[in-house]
Amino acid sequence: MIVYLLPILAVCIGFAIAYFLKRSQLTSIKLLLAFSGAYLLSLTVFEFFPEVYTHDNKQVGLFIMIGILLQILLEFLSKGAEHGHIHHHEDHKSFPFVLFISLSIHSLLEGFPLHDHDTLLYGVVIHKIPIAIILSTFLLKANFSKVRITLFLILFALMTPLGSLLQAKVAYFSTIAVYINALVIGIFLHVSTTILFETGNNHKFNATKLVAIILGIGIAYLL
């Protein structure tokens, strides 16, 4: 049950923080993004890679590369929302359906491996909180109706648990689990490395960000 509840809780926490967020706190969100990117990347390398490479290496590698290409396409549609890049426009009138579809596909796919990987679940949850903060901030500042914002966030929150549910209940997905996992590895690799290189101003590292990254790597290794 926790695999279904935690991703939803992460979005709720993100929205609550965004609702009371001040601009001066944006630096803290960037540090949380850096930590989550390092944590997610480390879990992928420490646990996910060894598991999928017990199978057909060439096919696994192909699906990892497809995952990277898929994430590039999704980020083209979402303008980088998966790694915290959403630009606010006060005069934004049309509802961002393309953004919603892109984030939903990303969230649905990341949910598939979580049913059998507890540590990865925590990585996704930690990653989801700052993304939910940034997404919620965008929706609130765009002055969309409360009904639309609520519906967007509810559906977004449900996508990851839906992926986990499909993996657990639909037998076919179990037969291709290694290839789905390889696809998700590609997605995680692109998202996490992009976060690490783009969360700083002008792509420069600073000491605080470096500490956040080292903490993310260290905690992932210990788990």
Residue 102 reports pLDDT greater than 60: yes
170: phi then psi, degrees, rounded to nearest 5? -100, 115
3-state class (DSSP) for residue 79: coil
Distance CA 204, CA 209 (A): 10
Q: What is the mean pLDDT of the chain?
A: 85
Distance CA 29, CA 34 (A): 9
Q: What is the pLDDT of residue 82?
A: 63
Alpha-carbon Rg of the chain, whole angstroms? 17
Q: What is the pLDDT of residue 199?
A: 47
Residue 50 reports pLDDT greater than 60: yes
143: phi then psi, degrees, rounded to nearest 5? 60, 35
Distance, C-alpha 16 to centroid of its chain: 18
**Considering only CA atoms, which of 160, 153, 127 is closest in space to residue 29?**
127
Q: What is the pLDDT of residue 159?
A: 95
Distance CA 64, CA 112 (A): 15
Distance CA 86, CA 152 (A): 15
Distance CA 183, CA 180 (A): 5
pLDDT 10s digits, 172-201:
998 999 999 999 999 999 998 888 876 455
DSSP 112: G
**Considering only CA atoms, which of 126, 129, 127 is closest in space to residue 194?**
127
Distance CA 126, CA 37 (A): 9
Q: Which of 67-71, 74-78, 129-133, 163-167 has the lowest mean pLDDT?
A: 74-78
pLDDT 10s digits, 111-121:
999 977 888 88
As a whole number, mean pLDDT of residues 155-175 equals 93
Residue 42 reports pLDDT greater than 80: yes
Q: What is the pLDDT of residue 202?
A: 52
Cβ atoms of residues 38 and 192 within 8 Å: yes
Residue 18 reports pLDDT greater than 70: yes
